[in-house]
Amino acid sequence: MPHNAAATGTAALSANFANLRVDGPRLWSSLMETAAFGRTLKGGLCRLALSPEDAAVRRWFVEACESSGCTVTIDQLGNIFARRAGSDPDLPPIAIGSHLDTQPTGGRFDGILGVLAGLEVLRTLEHAGVVTRHPLEVVNWTNEEGARFAPAMLCAGVFAGAFDLDYALSREDKNGVTLARALAESGFDGTAPVGGRPLAAHFELHIEQGPVLEAEGREIGVVSGVQGIRWFDVEISGLACHAGTMPMKLRRDALQAAARLAVAVDEIGCSDPDTSLSTIGIFEAYPGSRNTVPETIRMSVDLRHPRAEGLDRLEAAFHAAAEQIAAALKVMIEIKPVWSSPPVVFDPRVVDAIAAATEALGYSRRSIVSGAGHDSVYISRVAPTGMIFVPCENGISHNEAENIMPIEAERGANVLLQAVLQFDSAT
């Protein structure tokens, strides 16, 4: 129960908080103001992690948070925690996190919306004089994109125990600059230990980076989890021969086997179209001569599903199709797994708080699974976690053309605010 609710009674105050809204124009103004740091000619952003542009937006963020009465802590990986005290000092903080770094030709909203909406929540509460039970911490996670230092989501990953601190500090960019050196150069080489402390929850507002909400006309995506991914390399070996002299029935055509396998992989993904994805992104034919039947095809297969058993089913169907095609076309098909990322299911308490807040705000919504990775993927290992999606124009992201409307940012931030308040009251 919020602190200043004590004076007037829970019912009235619940109603009062339920009417609390963010300041949409102020949020939009923050988004546009910070878009000056690393702006590209095409109106996007190039704000690589810990670059001078990233350091500039970080300083802006720290100052804005401190101006709203927060205490800012920076850990050894430059993760920034802007803490607003709660009424119960024994409770762990509710975190609201995302990232301010971008792709080299990135947009103005991917990650940034989540951090600045967190700031807007702090400002709204401050302006309304509301004190939550839990402390709130708005977090800027370092190097989410992985565009400067691989892998992606590196510093949230260390916070959650997925990577070692030293591993992270030793990552190098393409010029051989380590993360440790970049932290020192940016002035964000903090001293707080990375992780090792509880969070009551982690909320993340993000643009969808896909077209589903826009296509269906839904205002809010209540993210139930992040799909699992399995990557395979496929090599198909047939027999090269002359296109003019080898009869169709005597051929062992690697390309025809690959084409049939590609169609089968597509059909496997479409068999369960609301949850499954299957993609052939790489397809190379050798020797690649117009009048020679191809001998070798190398292709990639990308299978995605929100549940491990779903991935197992897709993979089994893929193997079965490959086996059947290899036999029918008299070719060899070799399948090599190259990477796997298990599915994440978000905490029902956080997801329910988001759904309830969306409902109370009267926004249209749908449950959605995140196709891309986010800081929340790692944080979900150590804290109850959930995400809110808002639509983005044509589903375009990782692109300077990335765009959203002000009202979409405002709706997302209102859901964030109300979901945090609901979670704060309920736990």
The footprint of a copy of itself (CB under 8 A) covers: 208-212, 215, 227, 229, 231, 241-250, 253, 255-256, 258-260, 262-263, 266, 269-270, 273-274, 276-285, 288-294, 297, 300, 302, 304, 371-372, 395, 397-398
Neighbours of 90 (CB within 10 A): 7
Minimum CB distance to a copy of itself smaller for 152 or for 353 = 152
**Closest to a copy of itself by CB, 269 or 384:** 269
Residue 121 vs 265, nearer CB to a copy of itself: 265
Q: Pick between residue 325 and residue 383 the one whose CB is nearest to a copy of itself.
A: 325
Shortest gap between Cβ of 263 and a copy of itself (angstroms)? 5
**Measured from the CB of residue 100, what is the shortest distance to a copy of itself in angstroms?**
21
- By DSSP bridging, strand 292-293 and strand 241-242 are antiparallel
Question: Measured from the CB atom, is 30 or 296 closer to a copy of itself?
Answer: 296
For a copy of itself, give the closer residue by CB, 126 or 235.
Answer: 235
In the complex, the smallest distance separating the C-beta of residue 326 from a copy of itself, rounded to whole angstroms, is 16
β partners of residue 95: 137, 202
DSSP code per residue over 250-302: G---HHHHHHHHHHHHHHHHHTSTTT-EEE---EEEES--TTEE-SEEEEEEE
Of 37, 12, 122, 106, which is closest to residue 392 (Cα–Cα)?
106
Rounding to the nearest 10 degrees, give the CA dihedral for residues 36, 373, 143, 350: 80
DSSP string, 28-85: HHHHHHHTTTTB-TTS-B---TTSHHHHHHHHHHHHHHHHTTPEEEEBTT--EEEEE-
The smaller minimum CB distance to a copy of itself, of residues 22 and 236, is found at 236
For the CB of residue 278, give the shortest distance to a copy of itself in the complex, in Å: 7
Residue 240's contacts (CB-CB under 8 Å, 6 or more residues apart) are 287, 292, 293, 294, 295
Least Cβ distance, residue 364 to a copy of itself (angstroms): 18
Q: Cα–Cα distance between 411 and 92 in angstroms, integer?
A: 27
Q: Please state, in angstroms and rounded to a whole number, the distance separating the CA atoms of residues 14 and 2.
A: 9
